């Protein structure tokens, strides 16, 4: 007994369709702002962290940006209280990524 026969017994009313499912991709536009985003270095519990603040758009957009930065740099981090916290000192690389996206950045600390 193959899989199709087993499924037919479990779901006798189901009809198989040969049409492929179409998944729509959402394009997400980030708000490019006039004020620069602040990219600062801080030590928390003795470990270096990079903090990005100053995004004026929605939190969901900022979370998407945080995820993109974390995957591009292959580092850990989080999004808390309107700030992206990245593990390690990656200010220069993050500023380059943000500038490629059209954001103005400002380096703070060290």
Span 87-105, pLDDT tens digits: 998 888 998 998 888 888 8
Span 5-62, pLDDT tens digits: 888 888 888 777 777 766 665 655 666 677 888 899 888 899 999 999 888 878 888 8
**What pLDDT score was predicted for residue 27?**
59
Greater pLDDT, 37 or 109: 37
DSSP 110: -
- Whole-structure pTM value: 0.67
Report d(CA 95, CA 104) in Å as an integer: 9
**What pLDDT score was predicted for residue 71?**
92
Report d(CA 50, CA 41) in Å as an integer: 5
């Amino acid at each position: 007994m193959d899989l199709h026969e087993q499924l037919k017994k479990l779901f006798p009313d189901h009809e198989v369709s040969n049409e492929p499912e179409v998944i729509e991709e959402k394009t997400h536009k980030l708000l490019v702002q006039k004020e620069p985003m602040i990219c600062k270095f801080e030590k928390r519990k003795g470990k270096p962290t990079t903090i990005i603040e100053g995004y004026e758009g929605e939190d969901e957009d900022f979370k998407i940006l945080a995820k993109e930065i974390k995957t591009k740099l292959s580092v850990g981090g989080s999004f808390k209280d309107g700030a992206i916290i990245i593990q390690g000192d990656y200010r220069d690389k993050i500023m380059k990524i943000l500038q490629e996206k059209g954001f103005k950045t400002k380096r703070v600390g060290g």
